[in-house]
Amino acid sequence: MGDFVRVETNEGIGTIRLDRPPMNALNTQVQEELRAAATAVSADPGVRAVIVYGGEKVFAAGADIKEMADMSYVDMAERAADLSSALGALARIPKPVVAAITGYALGGGCELALACDWRVVAEDAKLGQPEIKLGIIPGAGGTQRLARLVGPARAKDLIMSGRMVDAAEALRIGLADRVVPAESVYAEAVALVRPYLTGPAQALRAAKQAVDGGLEMDLASGLAWESQLFAALFATDDRREGMAAFVEKRRPDFTGR
């Protein structure tokens, strides 16, 4: 698909694979290739779940600082929205998405992981938002998604200190969902999403939209949003199949329609 990001599809799982040695730094080209990959897996009906993976050694160690070092305020003002929206495209993939994290997920790499629904983390991995040490703050969703995930106090600690957390702390605070040996990270990510491959795709999409969209609303608006999505599923074949299977005491055969 691109020079540094490709999509590999196997048995319903689309793997968005970063490959920009040595550290998968997220320069402008990688950001736009991630956007293109997110668009591709979103549109492919053969992809039922997605894994974001940086390889056996490193997930992504951050943005390309050399690329940003000489940028002015005007330069970044023109680029910042595109940077954020590139990772936002991954967050909006209407399918289950898991980050398979080895090595480092720092700065933009951590923000990339935050854009996923879950994070499977290697036992020896390190995660963090060290941008403060460069005199800046996270600019691709880190201040917003991290606070929603681990709470504002913990997010401020990580962002304002710039410190890295190990896998055990990441699991304790909710930044990681599963911690496994490094050699098992990708296999564990596959195991996490495998149950969704034969699930009701429209309902899974609605569930993700309900949770993610509701986080941006007050409770009354979120409940109204949920009701709208809930009612819409009564137009799907999978809703009919799921309820028929329940009444007939058999396993449902969902088609994703």
Q: At what angle do helices 201-214 and 237-248 cross, to 10 degrees?
A: 110
131 is catalytic: yes
pTM of the full structure: 0.94
Which of 14, 107, 108, 141 does the annotation list as catalytic?
108
Question: Average pLDDT of the chain?
Answer: 95
Indicate whether 112 and 214 sit together in one domain. Answer: no
Indicate whether 171 and 211 sit together in one domain. Answer: no
Indicate whether 172 and 225 sit together in one domain. Answer: no
- The whole-number pLDDT of residue 82 equals 87
63 is catalytic: yes
Alpha helices in the chain (DSSP H): 28-43, 65-68, 73-91, 108-114, 142-150, 152-161, 167-173, 185-193, 201-214, 219-232, 237-248
- Angle in degrees, CA 243, 247, 248, rounded to 5: 115
Give residue-wise pLDDT tens across range 31-48: 999 999 999 999 999 999
- The whole-number pLDDT of residue 224 equals 97
- The whole-number pLDDT of residue 195 equals 95
What is the span of the domain harbouring residue 227? Answer: 201-248
- The whole-number pLDDT of residue 172 equals 98
pLDDT band at 133 (very low <50, low <70, confident <90, very high): very high
Measured over the CA atoms of residue 160, residue 157, residue 216 and residue 175, the dihedral's sign is: positive
pLDDT band at 20 (very low <50, low <70, confident <90, very high): very high
- Angle in degrees, CA 73, 75, 76, rounded to 5: 65
Indicate whether 79 and 164 sit together in one domain. Answer: yes
Which of 25, 33, 113, 131 does the annotation list as catalytic?
131
Indicate whether 77 and 176 sit together in one domain. Answer: yes
Which of 63, 91, 140, 155 does the annotation list as catalytic?
63
Indicate whether 53 and 74 sit together in one domain. Answer: yes
Give residue-wise pLDDT tens across range 63-80: 778 888 888 899 888 888
Indicate whether 28 and 72 sit together in one domain. Answer: yes
- The whole-number pLDDT of residue 247 equals 96
The total number of structural domains in the chain stands at 2
Indicate whether 151 and 94 sit together in one domain. Answer: yes
Indicate whether 231 and 142 sit together in one domain. Answer: no
Question: Is residue 206 included in any domain, yes or no?
Answer: yes
Give residue-wise pLDDT tens across range 205-252: 999 999 999 999 999 999 999 999 999 999 999 999 999 999 999 999
pLDDT band at 141 (very low <50, low <70, confident <90, very high): very high
- The whole-number pLDDT of residue 36 equals 97
Q: From CA 53, how far away is CA 18, in angstroms rounded?
A: 6
Indicate whether 37 and 89 sit together in one domain. Answer: yes
Per cent of the chain over pLDDT 70 is 100
- Give yes or no for residue 1 having a pLDDT over 80: no
HSE-CB at 1 with a 13 A cutoff on CA atoms is 24
CATH number at residue 83: 3.90.226.10
- The whole-number pLDDT of residue 131 equals 95
8 is catalytic: no
Q: From CA 193, how far away is CA 55, in angstroms rounded?
A: 18
Give residue for tokens 């491959």. Answer: 197
Q: From CA 50, how far away is CA 53, in angstroms rounded?
A: 10
- Give yes or no for residue 202 having a pLDDT over 90: yes
- The whole-number pLDDT of residue 59 equals 97
- Give yes or no for residue 24 having a pLDDT over 80: yes
Indicate whether 40 and 55 sit together in one domain. Answer: yes
Q: From CA 130, how far away is CA 202, in angstroms rounded?
A: 38
214 is catalytic: no
Indicate whether 126 and 213 sit together in one domain. Answer: no
Which of 111, 115, 167, 188 does the annotation list as catalytic?
111
